[in-house]
Structure 1
Amino acid sequence: MYESKIIFTDVLLPKWIKTLGMIGMYAISMSTPVMAEIDPKIKSGTQINEISHKTTLLIITESQSIGSGSLIAKEGNKCIGVTNRHVVLSSEGKVEKMIIRTYDEQTYKVDNVNWFSSEDLAIVEFQCNRNYEPITIATYQLSPGQPVYLSGWPPSLGQINRQFTSGSISTILKNSDDGYAIGYTNVTQGGMSGGQILDAAGRLVGIHGLGDRDQVSAKTGFNYGIPVSTMLARVSQNGLNYNLKIVYSLPQESDDNTLVSTEVPQIDSRDRVDVNKLRDNVDWTIETIQKICIFLGC
């Protein structure tokens, strides 16, 4: 069972005046997952960070909360991302208005949200006018000790800096709680909910969302995520199948004898966002959308 909430559609401000006649509602279109021919070889931390940089989404809501997500599909001018249910819902349990920022500093209004009551997962859709490459999804049996990388957007000191951390799987739970079944040692922070869990080949294997309950900025040792297999099962069961890039193989050792560095690279200026500027943009966008809806009665 899932809950589907429609927000607003197809207005890429400030061109809203040109698109008034296009405002409407639409539902998720049906499509078929495809097998992806992606290099399964183990990569360096720098190489994986580059993949993550281009596919980690920053989500900011009308209530000014911050979350993360992954770009998992692109169909025409429609982009699809996955995040946590608790990222998209307000404290009252209602879907919030949201803006998504992509790696190239473009911001897009979320048009449609599908969230699942059985797991802490949500699928977001937004109209995108750039040639984005979605993340590859890898579904296989994860194991304790397996190296993983996390990527997300925690706010700190007036900025939002994408964090990319290394660690390893610490446990696989037999009985999941709200979908959470993967435990790992990576350092996380608030704002990284909905972010990526990547394997050593740079493929998406899980969605981060649960940290320890200590009142500290950095959370380590008690972090949990939801396997991508759970996400794939839910979207398929509910007829939300997209053209996903899916592989079923474990990361493969390189053919040569070159040692692959697991050192985590420093985040550069591409992964730094001024909070005030972004929030000003969100406030202006949402205010304009509200004015449009008053005019059109949406």
Structure 2
Amino acid sequence: MIFKRYLVSIGLTITTVLIAPVQINAVKYEARAILARDVGAIAKKTVVRIESTEGSFGSGVIIGRSERGTKNIYTVLTAAHVVKIPSNNYKIVTPVPLNSPIGRKRVTINLDAQRNIKVIPNVDLAVISFESSYTFAIGTIGNSEYADEGSPVYVAGFPKPGKAITRIAFQFTGGMISSRLDESDSNPQERNNGYDLAYTNITRAGMSGGPVFDAAGRIVAIHGQGDRNNQTPGEETSVGTMTDEKTGFNLGIPIQSFLKYQPQASTIVGARIDKSPLNYQLNDRTFTIGTKNKKFTRKFPIRSEDPPLFDVTKVNEQSYD
């Protein structure tokens, strides 16, 4: 009798183990915020200047790379008004190639407006393709749905020279999303060529077509307009801009507008897409103390009450050759 009870006990135990549900802990991937200077490094490697024969210029960002024989085919995303005159001859001044044998210099590439430029309908966007044997970095496309009010963003491009900065210089500025104009209570008929994101970054004429990066260095919008006191936004090309005073708010087209037009961007143009949410905190901070030959490194864990990695109320502006 005791032996039978023992067998029953074992049987119940085995049955319990067999029917118990298996719990699988799903890993949720999140992009990590990086320092502003690291986003700036991404921008400097991917942002291009677009020039025309009429003397105007704008900006753009490399978003894709594919291969054709021994050549690389690159895709640049910009604002359509930067390349709006088909009769003009346009050229791209690239970032410094990753495999440059000629020193740290940019490359100028002439474009055929009919063959290399395609305007996206119903929105102020255009894609430009160019061919090169050089290797350039490509920007990662993010998810503009996460770019809500208060999110830190960065704008990069090549603005028109001013009184103090008298030459064309790469500029990288910080700010935050101040408004989403595509909320459900807005009238679709009043949409302004797709400019649905407003932000506080400093921008100038010539930065039109440049990218808007999130805190992880992913492209979430294309910059193209500056709000002005006369309630008419001005296109930020380097000629023909309105002289009315800017309000400080600027506008960009969410990157999702491009992905709606080109949902297979990763396959068609070789784009890199990361739609994951953004985690604004790192796992740890590492401090290195000491001399070049003798260092002491210690990691400090970050707790949820720690302050943000950077202060988005301060403008981070840099210029390069």
Same fold (TM over 0.5): yes
Deviations 1:42-90 (A, max 9, x none): 1111111000000011100111101000000111211110001100012
C-alpha deviation, 1:116, in angstroms? 2.1
User: Does 2:205 match 1:172?
Assistant: no
CA–CA separation in structure 2 for the residues paired with 1:192 and 1:107: 18
Q: 2:4 aligns to what?
A: none
Residue segments in structure 1 that go unaligned for 5+ positions in a row: 1-37, 273-298
Cα pair distance change 1:132/1:264, threshold 3 Å = farther
Aligned-partner residue type, residue 73 of structure 1: G
Q: 2:32 aligns to what?
A: 41
Deviations 1:259-278 (A, max 9, x none): 6345665535xx33xxxxxx
Q: 1:50 aligns to what?
A: 41
CA–CA separation in structure 2 for the residues paired with 1:183 and 1:102: 27
User: Does 2:45 match 1:80?
Assistant: no
3-state SS of the aligned residue for 1:212? strand
Deviations 1:134-185 (A, max 9, x none): 0000014221111100001012154111111111001111243211100111
CA–CA separation in structure 2 for the residues paired with 1:98 and 1:217: 28
Across the two proteins, how many residue pairs are aligned to each other?
230
Q: 1:149 aligns to what?
A: 154
Higher alpha-carbon deviation: 255-264 or 240-249:
255-264
CA–CA separation in structure 2 for the residues paired with 1:108 and 1:139: 30
Cα pair distance change 1:220/1:204, threshold 3 Å = farther
Q: 1:110 aligns to what?
A: 111
3-state SS of the aligned residue for 1:47? helix
For the 8 Å contact 1:55–1:133, the answer to whether it is kept is: yes
Aligned-partner residue type, residue 132 of structure 1: F
For the 8 Å contact 2:30–2:276, the answer to whether it is kept is: no
CA–CA separation in structure 1 for the residues paired with 2:316 and 2:249: 23
Q: Which one has a bigger Cα radius of gyration?
A: 2
Deviations 1:10-47 (A, max 9, x none): xxxxxxxxxxxxxxxxxxxxxxxxxxxx9821111111
Please give the root-mean-square deviation of Cα atoms over the aligned residues, in Å.
Answer: 2.6
CA–CA separation in structure 2 for the residues paired with 1:170 and 1:120: 21
User: Does 2:262 match 1:254?
Assistant: no
> Higher relative contact order at CA 8 Å, sep ≥6: structure 1 or structure 2?
1
User: Does 2:127 match 1:123?
Assistant: yes
User: Does 2:197 match 1:197?
Assistant: no
3-state SS of the aligned residue for 1:192? coil
Q: 1:161 aligns to what?
A: 169
User: Does 2:153 match 1:135?
Assistant: no
Cα pair distance change 1:151/1:239, threshold 3 Å = closer
CA–CA separation in structure 1 for the residues paired with 2:64 and 2:53: 25
Aligned-partner residue type, residue 248 of structure 1: K
For the 8 Å contact 1:188–1:220, the answer to whether it is kept is: no
CA–CA separation in structure 1 for the residues paired with 2:267 and 2:117: 12
For the 8 Å contact 1:84–1:193, the answer to whether it is kept is: yes
For the 8 Å contact 1:85–1:122, the answer to whether it is kept is: yes
The ranges of structure 1 where at least 4 consecutive aligned residues each deviate by more than 6 angstroms after the TM superposition are: 237-240
Cα pair distance change 1:152/1:260, threshold 3 Å = same
C-alpha deviation, 1:127, in angstroms? 1.1
CA–CA separation in structure 1 for the residues paired with 2:61 and 2:267: 16
User: Does 2:251 match 1:243?
Assistant: no
